[in-house]
Amino acid sequence: MRIRLIQMNSVVGDVHGNLERIVALIREAERDGVHLVVFPEMALAGYPPEDLLFRPSFLRDLAEAQEILAQNVGRLVAIVGYAYAEGQGIRNAAAVMANRQTLARIAKQHLPNYGVFDEARYFTPGAGTTIFRWGQWTLGVSICEDAWYPDGPYLRQARQGANLLVNISASPFSRGKSQVRQQMLSTRADDAAAYLVWTNLVGAQDELVFDGTSAVFGPDGQLLARALAFREDILTVELTRTPSQHRRWIDPRWRLAPNDEGAADVVEVPLPPAGEAEALATRVEPVPDTVPSLYEALCLGLKDYVEKNHFGDVVIGLSGGIDSALTATIAVDALGRERVHGVFMPSVITSETSYQDAKALSENLGIDWRVIPIGDIVSVFLKELAPSFGQRPMDLTEENLQARIRGTLLMALSNKLGWLVLTTGNKSEMATGYSTLYGDMAGGFAVLKDVLKTEVFRLARYVNQTAGYARIPENVLIKPPSAELRPDQKDEDSLPPYAILDQILKGYIEDDLTPDELIRQGLDADAVVLAVRLVNRNEYKRRQAPVGIKVTPRAFGRDRRMPITGRF
């Protein structure tokens, strides 16, 4: 059987645009002699569609598009993810189509409702077991989370005779997830003694990035083929024989398993059995290591946010520091240098070194950049505020004023020239509130929002290593981080050293460890108490931060949801 996995970048809500692409890809598959073509979860609707699912007009569009799609499926079987209304509920489903008709709609049975997932808010779970008989092949179809359960629908389908399992997925990227996911899928194929075809979404939707890496596993769990990471891809494989029934006969997990699941619904595929085709060379694409994967995810997240929302150029406030340097570099690699603009906004406190570093970065990247001094603007602000400030000494107010003036200037350029403002704050700063509300937090998209400061340095070094030269100037990497809002300021004047702080933040935010547990791990007690206090008191700031790319298992925003008002 010739099987084609379509790793597609769908656009949420663009039902007709997604439909046109799917139809074209199905027709191409038919011309190429493909027997089975598989698209990702929610390929027709885009994922996650969120509250669009509550709009009757959206569900009607999906229903009409699925009917049109079925009419365009001829001499092959096509499996496409979408959503449909049924009775009092909405289903996250796979439409199985062949011979100009819909053979069945398989509803997702396990609805994820944790982290970024809210599927119980929208969907009614499916039930029962359906298998599709097609000559020597018997297919079972499941959706994403269904495969994560060891006793999920895939196993019931296998016990009813399925020897080819298809799982359509919209599984988002996070640090280290790819390896865990591949091991899980390998185990599922081995447990079922069946081929497993897993087709994953690729692309970005708001905070989420989908990394693709669609794959095919053999009945022994061996990886047979894998598509590209972070890119649309078409992966075609040729399975020349069905798995041996002998293994199931001799494995007591099959012989002695309780058969209390009831009979499966059997759907006969109204096509001639899939014949032999010319053998294809298998392709197993590599999965990038941790740092390259992180960089690819950030580039894809930014590119899709800008282009799917029809923005043109982007603008970045360049400080001469590492965060703005990395943000600008990612923007160039995601969008092209002609769409990236840098603005250096010095005050009387800004050092000559910062100017030189910002200038060198802009020249290395080949981007448009300009200098807008803010010294006179700060003076005017302070003059007008003096009667209200009275004799009170200078404090954070004057520091934050500089950041807020810079934010105002960037937003003015955005309004006048149509540029999207990219903020440059990282996760360490977001966590501790080491940022200025309506200042450096002002903007449309936060590229590094889920990237700890130590990871920022690793990514910058990766950029230079990949380029073969100091694309990000070396001085940016070696000088102590500073907001430069007061003379001789260093981040570590207000925060623990980032090497320590980031360990605390990872444990407290991602692993939900208590301060006592962190201290017992050997982390400095004073640093732990300070960091935890800062995290807890700055939730109100994070709620007002721009949307940003999720790359860790516990990102701020809709992933980690904590009360602003609370005393725990």
Task: Cite the active site residues.
Answer: 41, 108, 144
**221 Cβ contact partners less than 8 Å away, ≥ 6 residues apart:** 186, 187, 189, 190
Q: Helix, strand, or coil here: 546?
A: coil
305: left (phi over 0), alpha (psi -120 to 50) or beta: alpha
Alpha-carbon 525 to chain mean position: 34
| Pick from 422, 402, 207: nearest CA to 325 | 422
Planar angle of CA 517, 521, 526, nearest 5 degrees: 75
Terminal alpha carbon distance of the chain: 58
Check: CB of residue 426 under 8 Å from CB of residue 451. Answer: yes
- How far apart (Å, rounded) are the C-alpha atoms in residues 126 and 132? 17
Kindly write down the DSSP assignment for every residue of 99-134, as one continuous string: TTEEEEEEEPSS---STT--HHHH-----S-EEEEE
Bridge partner residues of 343 (DSSP): 317, 370
151: left (phi over 0), alpha (psi -120 to 50) or beta: alpha
Number of residues that make up the chain: 568
**520 Cβ contact partners less than 8 Å away, ≥ 6 residues apart:** none
Check: CB of residue 42 under 8 Å from CB of residue 23. Answer: no
